[in-house]
Copies of this chain bind each other. A is one copy, B any other.
Amino acid sequence: MNDIEIGKSFEFSNTFTNDDVFAFAEITKDDNPIHINDSYASNSIFGKRVVHGILVISMFSKIFGTIYPGNGGIYLSQTAKFLMPVFINEEILAKVTLRNFDYSKNRGTFITECFNSKGDLVLTGEAKILFPQQIKMK
């Protein structure tokens, strides 16, 4: 279990593969051709298939649920602006930064960002997490 330190960041990198995108399309029934159809996507504004934006957001859930604050936290909210497309097999870095913490409510607010391998900010937003009871104050 981690301490609470305003300004501290936690990161996770992931590369969504072709199989990941097809599996996600099957689970969610989101078979928009921009994600799964090469010829459609090649004629689109993006020029090739893109990863579902929601799949990119999932990287924050991974961090909050398994890294910090970790098991026992409760996801209260998430916002996301999709700034740039994320392509298949592109390594993405997700970064969450604790912006403030409400001790009376045991809630943390995080800035949530994703960057591609060129360092471009592809997604930005904010999340609120109800922290597990065991978190120690610093």
Contacts and interface: CB of A to CB of B under 8 A. Distances in A.
Interface of A: 12, 14, 16, 20, 23-24, 26-35, 40, 44-45, 52-55, 57-59, 61-62, 65-66, 71-72, 74-82, 125
23 contacts: A23-B26, A23-B27, A28-B61, A29-B62, A29-B66, A30-B61, A30-B65, A31-B66, A32-B65, A32-B66, A33-B71, A34-B71, A44-B72, A52-B61, A53-B61, A53-B75, A53-B78, A54-B58, A57-B57, A75-B82, A76-B81, A77-B79, A78-B80
Contacts of A53: 61, 75, 78
A58 B30 contact: yes
